[in-house]
């Protein structure tokens, strides 16, 4: 009799116990479909504006120092530089342009000041003039400016002019342009305009050379 009473009590306890959590994946999915504990209104998720696209920060361009500028001129022209007799003027005027002497100053002034632009323009005009003369007279071992055009008649072939401009823009500025590119059209306009207003057959390429060397892409990075 005692055992029957215990069994009956256990049966009543089992009947009145709360339902257990589903133990299967199917059961868990059934429960999740009935209620969303996150409280998110899924019907309006698509209406939320997307976050703006991330653009990595860019570094401001920095001017070449005097040594770098002098070396760049020599490399691109086959060894020519801004000279006064046997003196390289970039070295002679280095202190004026802010190169440190490591006695009174230890940090180079890399601001593209008006004085810097004045000296750079003077240097470009001298170096480009010597470059043109050497190529026209055949004194240079290889051409560095009129590479794809005839030095004796450098504005005769339109396709060669564009090819030469693309070559120079890649060499001096590190920029590759395809035919018809808007920027290439601007450089072609410069060459054609100078050629139309000058009797010198190489004036256009002299102007292009000076413009390439005084452009920010040449003296900064």
**For the residues of 16-51, what is the DSSP string, one character each?**
HSPPPPP-SHHHHHHHHHH--TT---GGGGGGSPPP
pLDDT at position 119? 98
pLDDT at 190 over 50: yes
Q: Name the token pair of 52.
A: 């703006």
Residue 109: helix, strand or coil by DSSP?
coil
pLDDT at position 105? 86
142-148: long-range contacts, CB 8 A cutoff, minimum separation 24? 142/78, 144/76, 144/77, 144/78, 144/171, 145/77, 145/205, 145/209, 146/202, 146/205
Query: C-alpha angle 56/57/59, rounded to 5°?
Result: 135
Question: Quick one: average pLDDT of 9-37?
Answer: 48
Contact 166, 147 (CB under 8 A): no
Distance of CA 127 to the CA centre of its chain: 27
pLDDT at 221 over 60: yes
Question: Quick one: average pLDDT of 94-110?
Answer: 91
What is the distance between the alpha carbons of residues 81 and 9, in angstroms, rounded to a whole number?
Answer: 108
Give the confidence band of 39 by pLDDT, cuts at 50, 70, 90: low
pTM metric for this prediction: 0.73
pLDDT at position 54? 58
Q: Which of 170, 168, 77, 198 is nearest to 131 (CA)?
A: 77
Q: Rounded to the nearest 10 degrees, how much is the dihedral formed by the CA atoms of 74, 80, 86, 87?
A: -40
R_g of the chain computed on alpha carbons: 38
Contact 188, 162 (CB under 8 A): yes
What is the percentage of the chain residues whose pLDDT exceeds 70? 74
Give the confidence band of 57 by pLDDT, cuts at 50, 70, 90: low
pLDDT at position 44? 52
pLDDT at 163 over 50: yes
pLDDT at 99 over 50: yes
pLDDT at position 47? 53
CA distances, 10 to each of 2, 6, 15, 149, 172 (Å): 13, 6, 9, 106, 94
Q: Average pLDDT of the chain?
A: 84
pLDDT at 55 over 90: no
> What residues does each domain of the chain span?
2-47, 66-219
Question: Quick one: average pLDDT of 78-89?
Answer: 98
Sign of CA dihedral 195, 199, 201, 202: negative
Q: Which of 211, 167, 171 is nearest to 189 (CA)?
A: 211
Alpha helices, DSSP H, located in 35-150: 66-77, 89-92, 114-136
Give the confidence band of 124 by pLDDT, cuts at 50, 70, 90: very high
Higher local confidence (pLDDT), 154 or 12: 154
Which of 41-55, 90-104, 120-134, 140-154 comes out lowest in average pLDDT?
A: 41-55
């Amino acid at each position: 009799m005692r055992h029957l009473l215990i069994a009956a009590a256990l049966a009543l306890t089992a009947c009145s116990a709360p339902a257990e959590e589903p133990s299967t994946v199917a059961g868990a999915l059934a429960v999740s479909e009935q209620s969303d504990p996150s409280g998110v209104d899924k019907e309006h998720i698509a209406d939320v504006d997307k976050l703006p696209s991330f653009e990595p920060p860019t570094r401001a361009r920095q001017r070449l120092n005097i040594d770098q500028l002098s070396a760049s001129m020599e490399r691109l022209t086959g060894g020519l530089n801004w000279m006064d007799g046997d003196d390289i003027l970039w070295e002679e005027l280095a202190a004026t342009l802010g190169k440190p002497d490591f006695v009174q100053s230890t940090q180079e002034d890399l601001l593209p000041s008006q004085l810097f632009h004045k000296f750079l323009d003077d240097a470009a005009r001298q170096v480009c003039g010597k470059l043109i003369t050497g190529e026209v007279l055949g004194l240079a071992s290889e051409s560095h400016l009129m590479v794809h055009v005839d030095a004796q008649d450098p504005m005769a072939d339109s396709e060669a002019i564009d090819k030469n401009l693309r070559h120079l823009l890649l060499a001096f500025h590190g920029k590759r342009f395809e035919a018809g590119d808007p920027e290439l059209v601007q450089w072609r306009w410069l060459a054609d305009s100078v050629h139309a207003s000058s009797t010198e057959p190489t004036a256009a390429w002299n102007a292009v050379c000076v413009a390439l060397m005084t452009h920010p892409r040449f003296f900064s990075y």
